């Protein structure tokens, strides 16, 4: 039919091209960014999402998920990608990059790499912030102040229940640090069968005193109530409780820190805009804004330096807090996480 009426074909072609151009323009002017929700998402909205929109770059459609890569994998596998940027934890970034779920990121987009913490810009992701698993305690409930994971294990000097995350990750590291393993040797030891056995033997020593937690809100609640005298906890949760007036305190010595990252879903129809967003969210001023609202450490060195001393003191990336910290090994937990979590669950159930 179209071959018989060239003028109709021409008119329709122009219309189709105009429609396609409009669709592409509409598509490229909005970006779907998926993060973990909660207080973190609220801080991201104020520091990144709204300012990015106000800059005229494009509209951010913000969503949330639980960090599982199954939905990302399904999108990539069928070629129908509706998410552009996702926030991922370190093991998921490594796993997703190996499986081809994320686009490669050109580090040149961010400018001088010396301005960022070492290891925070990788093949498929850019770290957005750093959080820590810390030793926290209630100063009103203890006669003396703990200073290490060894003190956490000392039930004679510090009687009372302890809170630990119900899982192998972070718990096995804390056990080995309490047993005298040096931070720099932590994963060398944990790589060996003897090292794993050593960690579980150390956990055996305080097993009757442990109250296991599964949600990040539990440790500060238990500490304030006096249900436990010390607990492993996320630093942000303790800082929030301190802001509300509690006498909770953090021991930064031996803290286990880990970045969360921005990654671009492979096949995103808005890759260029996604790169622009990640670059925007990685600048010193936007990261300064984020860490002013929630106590997670910026990865841009300029952001940290611009923050007040009182704010810096609460951040995992402050030099004083990093001095005695250990980066959680994403590679180790990708390689050994499944078997160690199974062993931990069997041990905890006994």
Render 131-183 in DSSP notation, one character per residue: EEEEEEEETTT-SS---SHHHHH-TTTS-S-EEEESSSTTHHHHHHHHTT--G
User: pLDDT exceeding 90 applies to what percent of the chain?
Assistant: 84
User: Does pLDDT of 330 surpass 50?
Assistant: yes
Q: Are strands 230-234 and 210-213 parallel, antiparallel or unpaired?
A: unpaired
Q: What gap in Å lies between CA 173 and CA 202, rounded to an integer?
A: 11
Domain count, the chain: 2
pLDDT at 342: 97
Residue 20 falls within a domain, yes or no? no
Supply the DSSP symbol for 46.
I
The answer on 199 and 184 residing in a single domain is yes
User: pLDDT exceeding 70 applies to what percent of the chain?
Assistant: 92
The tokens 């993060």 sit on which residue? 35
Q: For the chain, give the mean pLDDT.
A: 91
Residue 141 falls within a domain, yes or no? yes
Residue 111 falls within a domain, yes or no? yes
pLDDT at 29: 84
pLDDT at 27: 44
pLDDT at 28: 54
Instruction: Answer for the pair 215, 110: CB distance below 8 angstroms, yes or no.
Output: no
Helices (H) and strands (E) in the chain, counts: 17, 9
The answer on 96 and 107 residing in a single domain is yes
Q: How confident is the model at residue 251 (pLDDT cuts 50, 70, 90)?
A: very high
pLDDT-wise least confident of 22-31, 92-101, 118-127, 183-192: 22-31
The answer on 211 and 145 residing in a single domain is yes
Q: Are strands 126-138 and 230-234 parallel, antiparallel or unpaired?
A: antiparallel
Residue 17 falls within a domain, yes or no? no
Q: How confident is the model at residue 243 (pLDDT cuts 50, 70, 90)?
A: confident
Q: What gap in Å lies between CA 4 and CA 19, rounded to an integer?
A: 24
The answer on 330 and 202 residing in a single domain is yes
φ, ψ for residue 125 (rounded to 5)?
-155, 165
Best CA proximity match to 32, nearest among 70, 113, 87:
87
- Per residue in 172-206, pLDDT (tens digit) is 999 999 999 999 999 999 999 999 999 999 999 99
pLDDT at 295: 93
CA angle centred on 17, ends 11 and 18, rounded to 5°? 90
The answer on 266 and 193 residing in a single domain is no
Residue 173 falls within a domain, yes or no? yes
Q: What is the CATH number of the domain that holds 168?
A: 3.40.190.10
- Per residue in 149-169, pLDDT (tens digit) is 999 999 999 999 999 999 999
Q: Is 12 left (phi over 0), alpha (psi -120 to 50) or beta?
A: alpha
First to last CA, the chain: 77
Supply the DSSP symbol for 3.
G
If DSSP codes are grouped into helix, strand and coil, which group holds residue 118? coil
The answer on 107 and 63 residing in a single domain is yes
What would the two tokens of residue 123 be? 């093949």
Best CA proximity match to 212, nearest among 172, 174, 254, 162:
162
pTM: 0.85
Tell me which of 311 and 24 has the higher pLDDT.
311
Supply the DSSP symbol for 121.
B
Average pLDDT over residues 320-340: 95
Residue 11 falls within a domain, yes or no? no
Q: How confident is the model at residue 11 (pLDDT cuts 50, 70, 90)?
A: very low
The answer on 193 and 267 residing in a single domain is no
- Write out the residue range of the structural domain in which residue 87 sits: 28-130+259-318
Render 72-103 in DSSP notation, one character per residue: HHHHHHHT-----EEEEEHHHHHHHHHTT-B-
Q: What gap in Å lies between CA 294 and CA 308, rounded to an integer?
A: 14
The answer on 86 and 44 residing in a single domain is yes
The answer on 296 and 161 residing in a single domain is no
- Per residue in 305-326, pLDDT (tens digit) is 899 999 999 999 999 999 999 9
Tell me which of 197 and 240 has the higher pLDDT.
197
Q: What gap in Å lies between CA 224 and CA 19, rounded to an integer?
A: 60
């Amino acid at each position: 039919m179209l071959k018989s009426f060239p003028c109709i074909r021409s008119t329709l072609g122009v219309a189709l091209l105009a429609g396609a151009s409009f669709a592409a323009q509409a598509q490229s002017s909005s970006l779907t960014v998926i993060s973990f929700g909660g207080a973190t998402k609220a801080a991201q909205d104020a520091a990144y999402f709204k300012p990015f929109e106000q800059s005229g770059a494009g509209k951010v459609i913000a969503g949330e998920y639980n960090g599982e890569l199954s939905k990302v994998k399904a999108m990539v596998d069928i070629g129908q990608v509706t998410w552009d940027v996702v926030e991922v934890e370190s093991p998921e970034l490594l796993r997703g990059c190996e499986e081809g779920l994320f686009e490669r990121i050109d580090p040149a987009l961010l400018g001088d790499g010396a301005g960022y913490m070492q290891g925070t810009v990788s093949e498929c992701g850019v770290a957005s912030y750093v959080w820590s698993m810390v030793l926290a305690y209630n100063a009103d409930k203890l006669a003396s102040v703990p200073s290490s994971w060894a003190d956490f294990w000392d039930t004679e000097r510090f009687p009372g229940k302890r809170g630990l995350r119900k899982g192998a990750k972070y718990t096995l590291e804390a056990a080995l640090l309490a047993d005298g393993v040096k931070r720099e040797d932590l994963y060398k030891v944990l790589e060996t069968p003897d090292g794993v056995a050593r960690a579980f033997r150390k956990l055996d020593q305080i097993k009757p005193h442990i109250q296991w937690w599964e949600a990040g809100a539990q440790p500060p609640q238990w500490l304030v109530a006096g249900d436990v005298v010390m607990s492993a906890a996320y630093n942000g949760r303790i800082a929030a409780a301190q802001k509300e007036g509690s006498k909770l305190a953090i021991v930064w010595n031996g803290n286990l820190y880990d970045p969360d990252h921005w990654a671009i879903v492979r096949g995103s129809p808005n890759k260029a805009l996604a790169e622009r967003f990640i670059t925007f969210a990685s600048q010193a001023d936007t990261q300064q804004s984020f860490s002013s609202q929630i106590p997670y450490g910026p990865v841009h060195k300029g952001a940290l330096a611009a923050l007040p001393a009182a704010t810096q003191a609460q951040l995992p990336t402050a030099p004083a807090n990093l001095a005695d910290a250990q980066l959680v090994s994403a590679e180790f937990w990708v390689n050994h996480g499944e078997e160690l979590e199974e062993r931990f669950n069997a041990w905890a159930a006994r």
